Amino acid sequence: MVHRGMIGKRVVDPEKIELGVVSKMEENHIEVSEGLFDELLLSKAYIGKEEEEEIILKDKIHDLLAGMEVLGANDEKIGIVKETVYAGDVLDTLIIETEDKSLFFITLEEIYKIDEKMTLDIDMEGLKKDGRLEG
């Protein structure tokens, strides 16, 4: 059961990798901030259970993200999550594969929302402009 008492609780995956803290509640999402992500809207569908001090996701964060479709800020399909990259034991970046098999990275801070698909806060043009995609 998801309720307003979640605000301020840590959000972790089953391996206790901390994503951040619940900062806001929406109808179908929780906003997670102060952690791996700047401000992430996370679908409540990914919540496994709520404990006294933390919210535990149903799946490990890398399993949740692996193979997920990635959309740009304008909802244009960009690709899929090909790989999760760790710096030590901390999730750091994601490798995205486009339909033409090009690979590029995104930082976690660039993820705006995770539902059944991941939405970035940058679009295809922005990725081309900063040199991560050709075009």
Question: What is the tens place of the pLDDT at every residue in 11-60?
Answer: 999 999 999 999 999 999 999 999 888 899 999 999 999 999 999 999 99
- Are residue 119 and residue 81 in the same domain, yes or no? yes
Output the CA–CA distances (angstroms, integers) from residue 48 to 27, 30, 122, in the order listed.
17, 13, 29
List, in sequence order, every residue forming a beta bridge with 41; answer none if it has no partner.
31, 113
In a domain, 13, yes or no: yes
Q: Look at residue 90 in the predicted model and tell me its pLDDT.
A: 81
Which of 14, 43, 59 is a domain's end point? 59
At 69-116, the pLDDT tens digits run: 999 999 999 999 999 998 887 888 999 999 999 999 999 999 999 999
d(CA 123, CA 48): 31
In a domain, 135, yes or no: no
- Are residue 90 and residue 118 in the same domain, yes or no? yes
Alpha helices in the chain (DSSP H): 61-65, 124-129
- Are residue 52 and residue 74 in the same domain, yes or no? no
Confidence of residue 1 (pLDDT cuts 50, 70, 90): very low
- Are residue 55 and residue 87 in the same domain, yes or no? no
Q: Look at residue 75 in the predicted model and tell me its pLDDT.
A: 95
Q: Look at residue 135 in the predicted model and tell me its pLDDT.
A: 64
Q: How many CB atoms lie within 10 A of CB 8?
A: 9
Q: Look at residue 4 in the predicted model and tell me its pLDDT.
A: 58
Which of 38, 59, 80 is a domain's end point? 59
In a domain, 134, yes or no: no
Q: Look at residue 7 in the predicted model and tell me its pLDDT.
A: 93
- Are residue 26 and residue 81 in the same domain, yes or no? no
The residue range of the domain holding 91 is: 66-129
What's the domain count of the chain? 2
